[in-house]
Amino acid sequence: MKILLEMGDITRKHVDVIVNAANKTLLGGGGVDGAIHRAAGPALLACCSALGGCETGEAKLTPGFNLPASYVIHTPGPVYSAAQHAQSVKLLENCYWNSLSLADQAKCRTIAFPSISTGAYHFPVVDAARIALRTLVRFGKERAINLQAATMVLFDPETYRAYQFAMKELWDELK
Ligand code: ADP
Tell me the per-residue pLDDT of 37-50, one tens digit each, with 9 for 90 and over.
Answer: 999 999 999 999 99
State the average pLDDT for the chain. 98
pLDDT single digits (tens) 110-138: 999 999 999 999 999 999 999 999 999 99
pLDDT digits (tens, 9 = 90+) for 41-99: 999 999 999 999 999 999 999 999 999 999 999 999 999 999 999 999 999 999 999 99
Cβ atoms of 138 and 1 within 8 Å: the answer is no
Contact 37, 18 (CB under 8 A): no
Per-residue confidence at 174, pLDDT binned at 50, 70, 90? confident
Among 112, 122, 175, 95, residue whose Cα is nearest residue 147: 112
C-alpha angle 127-156-164 in degrees, rounded to nearest 5:
45
Given a cut of 90, whether residue 175 has pLDDT beyond it is no
Cα(48) to ligand 1 centroid in Å equals 19
pLDDT in tens, 93-110: 999 999 999 999 999 999
* Residue of the CA atom closest to atom 5 of ligand 1: 119
**Average pLDDT over every residue of 6-24:** 98
DSSP string, the chain: -EEEEEES-GGG--SSEEEEEE-TT-S--SHHHHHHHHHH-HHHHHHHHTTT---TT--EEEE-TTSSSSEEEEEEPPPP-GGGHHHHHHHHHHHHHHHHHHHHHTT-SEEEE--TTSSTT---HHHHHHHHHHHHHHHHHHT-SS--EEEEEESSHHHHHHHHHHHHHHHHHH-
85 CA distance to ligand 1 middle (Å): 21
At 26 the pLDDT is 98
- Grouping H, G, I as helix, E, B as strand and the rest as coil, residue 75 is strand
**What pLDDT score was predicted for residue 139?**
98
What pLDDT score was predicted for residue 116?
99
pLDDT of residue 31: 98
Which residues' Cβ are closer than 6 Å to ligand 1?
A: 9-11, 21, 31-33, 35, 77, 114-121, 153, 155-156, 159
* Predicted pLDDT of residue 129: 98
